[in-house]
A and B are shown apart, each in its own frame.
Chain A
């Protein structure tokens, strides 16, 4: 189990339908469970038959983690848990748990009531599904079971968006969901500590974009809106009810205040008021500045922005309308668009990403004639503006996150293949780490290598530290530890070698070698001994040598040299223990070649 495998069921080289299967340390985890906005058939949901052809998913999955409340990350959740069948834990943050069921219900209504689809999840299923949810707090270590723990980090993308650190044994993975590395008007920036995961699974929506400063974009946006209403035009801003909408509202609200503008600003009813209320109650999840000032003034109580009524669509004069949904694929925003599109004085500002197949995507790609339902053609004469306010990390942000958490591998999801390819090259270049970008249904496998934790006896460690502690500090001096590693079952202990031998009743066996060299040499034995001593000192200078008064020489721990004999012939005894085998045998050869000629 030194492998981590990842298989995207959705969001592999694609945006939408995020659903990634992760296997780590024998655990199977589903990361996100989203729907695809571009499809209306079975392709809108991930293909769960990949996990199991029949039966429920419960026994195949240890947990499901939802990163944030956008439908492309949680839209398939009730389908997965109630219609396919999953009863295990589902983890998400508190704001996600609060908002997610509302968006799911909204999505269900549009699909079932407007489009008349059957075989879709019901309100009841959403409720049962949400009962399986366990809410997590930021930075809290949540024990999923005895072996697996997860921890959420702030992701900044929308209210309650989180990145998840998943750890099983020593292996770990970070899944980012969608995130934003630059703080905006209502949310803070994503942050993670240096957790050094084996794998970072990151979104790559803006893999090739480096966005200019946020201030410029905001100024640009305000100028466009102001110019349009000055000329008597109407501005439509399609948004999703939660997230970008609040940021743009704060932006317009402060601008209207400062410029003292009287042109009405509307926000489509329904979700919105509720949405703002969520922001008020979950203010701890917003930006520093909003948190600091919320007692005096809650930023989500708007003065200039009024609720919108369908009857206002044909009101004369300029106005600004925020309407849902954000990709002009259905609902009020599409209705307003159809009425305003033929007038060139009007303007539509698309503040976020549009999935292929939606009206938003078409007009952004320059389509000026749209075929609507019942074969009617719609002339698009109004100005179409795209402003990237979508809160995803850009290329720079992704690189920044990689250097923040220092993963050993990176895996890209939630982006387009061509752009991923570019980013992959860059990541490999800059960080020299593995980078993967599996397509849907394709499995990426990575090996992991880990150190092995061992219990070391404190006395052994302290003895070593005490020795070092006495010496002047020197970072380059190698610290060497010698001990016996005891392996009993899965328990590893490093203890003093002598203690270990004693503990296991292992009597140490002393092995000693003695050889005597006999040769003829004139002179007193002390002279020969002196000669040997000088030889040893020059040839074995790395070893402590001791020349004792009785004429014997000791080298290293156990090597002994003794000279005996008379005036003519000498015999030199060399004796050493196995511990000093290398020194002893070397010395013997040395003496043989130097003395015995």
Chain B
């Protein structure tokens, strides 16, 4: 059993797991953080961004240097790549994707690299995820594709990725993980054909994988339809826990019962902001927004189209009501805003009990449905989609992409960035906000950082592990030491005695799971024919020689047919015959008594040592040598005598 880690970012995981002849891919996260290295894609022509100065390593005027100058631009005191945005995808070169039997997806956050895995790679397997993960994941991919395609940049930058140049670059660029492996964005066609391979599963729905294993998704409490995976054979249980939340928000709470007492627990996707409390951050977010609005400023919230954004709508509208700011319009701009709002209404089964019970009334589960009806929350596909005729300030704008490298958010920063009355509030934990803002500097807009990451923090994770009691634990190497930026925060580690197994990108971990048993069924006919004998109080034993039928990796033992017995041969060429065993020590006296009963007379017993005896039957011309573990019948006479002796002897011994 082996685990290979393909992702450098434990919050966007991707693994290959080999177990019992089955190859799984666990999650397919896309490390979007890396796109911060690119210049933003403006929605409308942007004079500032198009006039940036190029960057070179030296003053020489070589052709190479001139090309590099085209690729790298200086902006806000940093260097950015000016070209087609490329994505850092999982490390697929160390594995043969055509051998992957199944991909298990935890939530919409960890599905985004799927088209890179399933398309043009020879992948033939099946992708499993829940229906909400599929639908919301599709919206995320659609949004990404739309943003990229809306502002096409054809220039692919490759010069800067050369090793000799990389090492000269500022650390912001030189620290990138294998930039030559980066891929351009997938297309809409890739998304559709990739997602066509998905088979949706419900929570606690067992799915059979080639008869060898069963997989089961159970609620992880992180987002609508998010799940942890339990992979079981008849004897072993492996749990994959990524993107779990023990907080109470809108999704169905985490279901811990199926994860308990596993042989192995693989843990990933812990919080990216261990120092802050998400509840406090939501509060701070609301307060900051309200203060800005009260002072007549505008609030910009870079966000993803789903997930925590639903909670932001709910909390902020409630807070504004209490501040008397109910009339402030909230705008939600995303190419998929229609869909994500519509989908949020129909996944009642995947929501918290409080949200679910609203549907029974019947009312929409989220309050944002009512905000839309009342016109307080207005949603548009993009800034050109009728927003102009309706736009009122001060207002709050929720829009993507939270990396600030693409989408309508780029336009709003350019528009509002010059005024210190406006505020930008970061809530997504995926991006270091200063890096995200770097190409917009200098900027007067007020900046608030209220990251809301509901994933397990280290305390919660350690508590969870204690409750789940796995035999072995595998975690990211980075979780076993305090974060690099906070070396003294020793509480930010996973505690496990004697130290967990660890993974990191490109490494293969051998997992200490040794299989000992497999399940086989005895047909009722075979079972009825068995004659077990008690060999110890409470324990019976019987020998079986049976025909083995293997179908779909399931084993069945059936009685050997009489035809098979007489004519067919074993694999090694020997004839198939049932075997029997004789065991026990022969009690000479009872054997002699039994012989007498059979009418055999003239029995002479001669002791030959410790346990040995020789029995003479002179009338029948027979000699029986008895040792503790063997009996030898030397019979010169009639066959009838021999069979009589044989049967009598067998009665005095145990037969299996």
Binding site for B on A (CB under 8 A): 94, 97-98, 135, 137-142, 151, 274, 277-278, 280-284, 294-296, 449-458, 461, 464, 467-468, 470-471, 477-489, 493-494, 497, 500-501, 504, 506-516, 542-544, 578-579, 581-582, 585, 588-589
Which residues of B in the span 549-574 have a Cβ within 8 Å of any Cβ on A?
A: 549-550, 555-557, 560, 564, 568-574
Chain A CB within 8 A of B634 CB: yes
Inter-chain CA distance A481–B345, complex, in Å, is: 57
Given contact pairs A456-B517, A508-B583, A544-B573, A140 touches B636 in the complex (Cβ within 8 A): no
Q: Could you say which residues of chain B place their CB within 8 Å of the CB of A509?
A: 582-586, 629-631, 653
Are A484 and B544 neighbours in the complex by a CB distance under 8 Å? yes
Q: What secondary structure prevails in chain B residues at the interface with A?
A: mixed
Indicate if the CB atoms of B348 and A487 lie closer than 8 Å: no
Report how far A281 CA is from B361 CA in the complex, Å: 11
The complex places the Cα of A485 from the Cα of B540 at a distance, in Å, of 8
B180-214, CB < 8 A from A: 201-206
Report chain B residues within 8 Å CB of A578: 580, 582, 646
State whether A451 touches B523 (Cβ < 8 A). yes
Q: What are 21 A-B contacts with C-beta separation under 8 Å? A: A94-B349, A141-B204, A278-B362, A451-B527, A452-B521, A456-B519, A458-B518, A470-B571, A477-B571, A479-B549, A483-B543, A494-B544, A506-B584, A507-B585, A508-B582, A510-B582, A514-B635, A516-B636, A542-B575, A579-B579, A589-B639
Neighbouring B residues of A135 by C-beta, 8 Å: 349
Chain A CB within 10 Å — which of B338, B520, B536, B631 has the most? B520
Give the interface centre of B347, B581, B635, B643 by most chain A CB atoms within 10 Å: B581
Shortest distance from the beta carbon of A499 to any chain B beta carbon, whole Å: 11
- With CB as the reference atom, state the residue of chain B lying closest to A286: B346
Min CB distance A574 to B, Å, is 10
| Inter-subunit contact A284/B542 (CB<8 Å) | no
Check if A451 sits within 8 Å of B541, measured CB to CB: no
When the two chains form the complex, which single residue of A141, A280, A579, A588 contacts B206, counting CB atoms closer than 8 Å?
Answer: A141
Beyond A94-B348, A478-B564, A479-B547, whether A451 also contacts B524 by CB under 8 A is: yes
- Contact between A480 and B560 (Cβ–Cβ < 8 Å)? yes
Chain B residues with CB under 8 A of A488:
538-539
Which residues of B come within 8 Å of A, CB atoms? Answer: 131, 201-206, 216, 234-235, 338-339, 342-343, 345-349, 356, 359-360, 362, 364-365, 515-524, 527, 530, 532, 535-536, 538-550, 555-557, 560, 564, 568-577, 579-586, 628-636, 639, 642-643, 646, 649, 653-654, 656
| Smallest Cβ-Cβ distance to B139: which chain A residue | A295
Question: When chains A and B are docked, how far (Å) is the Cα of A510 from the Cα of B347?
Answer: 71
Residue of A nearest to B545 (CB): A482
Q: Which residue of A has the minimal Cβ distance to B645?
A: A513
Given contacts A98-B360, A141-B205, A485-B532, contact A456 B518 (CB under 8 A): yes
Q: A467-B571, A479-B548, A480-B576 are in contact. Are A139 and B584 (CB under 8 A)?
A: no
* B633 x A513 contact (CB < 8 A): yes
Residues on A with beta carbons closer than 8 Å to the beta carbon of B585: 507, 509
Chain A residues with Cβ under 8 A from B635's Cβ? Answer: 513-515
Report yes or no: B543 in contact with A457, Cβ–Cβ below 8 A: no
Complex interface: chain B residues within 8 A of A138 (CB) = 202
Known: A141-B204, A514-B632, A588-B639. 15 other contacts (CB 8 A): A98-B359, A139-B201, A141-B206, A449-B524, A451-B556, A452-B522, A454-B557, A455-B234, A461-B520, A470-B571, A481-B546, A487-B539, A511-B631, A512-B630, A515-B642
Residues in B whose Cβ lies below 8 Å from that of A283: 346
Give Cα A94 to B202, complex, Å. 14
**B380 to nearest A CB, angstroms?**
15
Q: How far is B583's CA from A506's CA once the two chains are assembled, in angstroms?
A: 6
* Contact across chains for A515 and B348 when beta carbons are under 8 A apart: no
Closest approach, in angstroms, between the C-beta of B551 and any C-beta of chain A?
11
- Please, which residues of chain B bring their CB within 8 A of the CB of A483? 543-544
Kindly identify which residue among B342, B541, B557, B654 contacts A500, using a CB–CB cutoff of 8 Å. B541
Interchain CA distance A452-B556 in the complex, whole Å: 9
Write the nearest CB–CB distance from B571 to chain A, whole angstroms.
4
Among B206, B538, B569, B573, point to the contact of A489 (Cβ < 8 A). Answer: B538
Contact A281 B202 (CB under 8 A): no
Query: A485 is contacted by which of B348, B541, B573 (Cβ under 8 Å)?
Result: B541
Contacts of B546 in A (CB 8 A): 480-481
Inside 8 A of A449's CB, which chain B residues have their CB? 524
Residues of A within 8 A of B541 (CB): 484-487, 500, 504, 506
Task: Return chain B residues, CB-CB under 8 Å to A507.
Answer: 583-585, 628-629
Contact present for A487 and B540 (CB under 8 Å): yes
A497 in contact with B630 (CB, 8 Å):
no
Instruction: With CB as the reference atom, state the residue of chain A lying closest to B521.
Output: A451
Q: Is the CB of A137 within 8 A of B630?
A: no
What B residues does A542 contact at CB under 8 A? Answer: 569, 575
Chain B residue numbers with a CB within 8 Å of A450 are 524
Chain B hits for A506, CB < 8 A:
535, 541, 583-584, 654
The 4 A-B residue pairs whose C-beta atoms are closest, nearest first, are: A451-B521, A510-B630, A139-B205, A479-B548
**Which residue on A lies nearest to B534, using beta carbons?**
A487
A480 to B561, CA, bound (A): 11
Contact across chains for B548 and A481 when beta carbons are under 8 A apart: yes
CB pair B544–A515 under 8 Å, yes or no, is: no
Distance A579 CA – B549 CA, assembled complex (angstroms): 26
Report the Cα distance A138→B560, complex, angstroms. 42
Partner of A284, one of B346, B564, B573, B656: B346
- Which B residues touch A141, using CB under 8 A? 204-206, 216
Q: Which residues of B contact A98 (CB under 8 A)?
A: 359-360, 362
- Nearest A-chain residue to B586, judged by Cβ: A509
Partner among A487, A497, A585 whose Cβ is within 8 Å of the Cβ of B579: A497
- Please indicate the chain A residues that have their CB under 8 angstroms from the CB of B582 in the complex: 508-511, 578
Bound together, the chains give a CA A54 to CA B635 distance in angstroms of 77
Looking at the assembled complex, report how far the CB atom of A555 sits from the nearest CB atom of chain B, in whole angstroms. Answer: 11
Nearest CB on A from B346, distance (A): 5
Which chain A residues border B339 with CB–CB below 8 Å?
A: 295
Q: Which residues of the other chain, B, contact A470 by a CB distance below 8 angstroms?
A: 571
Contact of B555 among A452, A461, A467 (CB under 8 A): A461
Bound CA span A485–B529, Å: 13
Measured between beta carbons, the chain B residues less than 8 angstroms from A464 are 548
Q: Is the CB of A482 within 8 A of B555?
A: no
Shortest distance between the CB of B224 and any CB in chain A (Å): 12
Q: How far is the CA of A506 from the CA of B581 in the complex (A)?
A: 10
Name the residue of chain A whose CB is nearest to the CB of B207: A139
Query: Are A543 and B572 within 8 A (Cβ)?
Result: no
CB proximity of A307 to chain B, nearest CB, Å = 17
Q: Report the minimal beta-carbon distance from B570 to chain A, rounded to whole angstroms.
A: 6
Bound together, the chains give a CA A467 to CA B364 distance in angstroms of 62
Find chain A residues with CB under 8 A from B572 CB: 467
Contact B544 A485 (CB under 8 A): yes
Residue of A nearest to B338 (CB): A295
Complex Cα distance A281/B357, Å? 12
Q: How far is the CB of B580 from chain A (nearest CB, A)?
A: 8
User: Cβ of A456 and Cβ of B629 under 8 Å apart?
Assistant: no
Q: Are B544 and A482 in contact (CB under 8 A)?
A: yes
Q: How far is the CA of A295 from the CA of B379 in the complex (A)?
A: 14
Q: Are A504 and B536 in contact (CB under 8 A)?
A: yes
B557 — which chain A residues lie within 8 A by C-beta?
A: 454, 481, 494
Q: Which residues of the partner chain B approach A139 to less than 8 Å between Cβ atoms?
A: 201-202, 205
B538 x A478 contact (CB < 8 A): no
CB distance from B40 to the nearest CB of A (A): 29
**Which residues from B are CB-within-8-Å of A142?**
204
Contact between B518 and A508, CB atoms less than 8 A apart: no
Whether A480 and B542, one on each chain, are in contact in the complex, defined by CB atoms closer than 8 angstroms, is no
Compute how far the CA of A512 lies from the CA of B571 in the bound complex, rounded to whole angstroms. Answer: 28
Q: Are B359 and A514 in contact (CB under 8 A)?
A: no
CA gap between A94 and B649 in the complex, in Å: 70
Q: For the complex, give the distance between the alpha carbons of A500 and B646 in Å.
A: 25
A136–chain B nearest beta-carbon distance, Å: 9
Which chain B positions have C-beta within 8 A of A94? Answer: 348-349, 356, 359
B416 to chain A, nearest CB (A): 30
Query: Please, how many angstroms separate the alpha-carbon atoms of A482 and B235 in the complex?
Result: 22
**Looking at B360, B630, B646, which has the most chain A CB atoms within 10 Å of its CB?**
B360
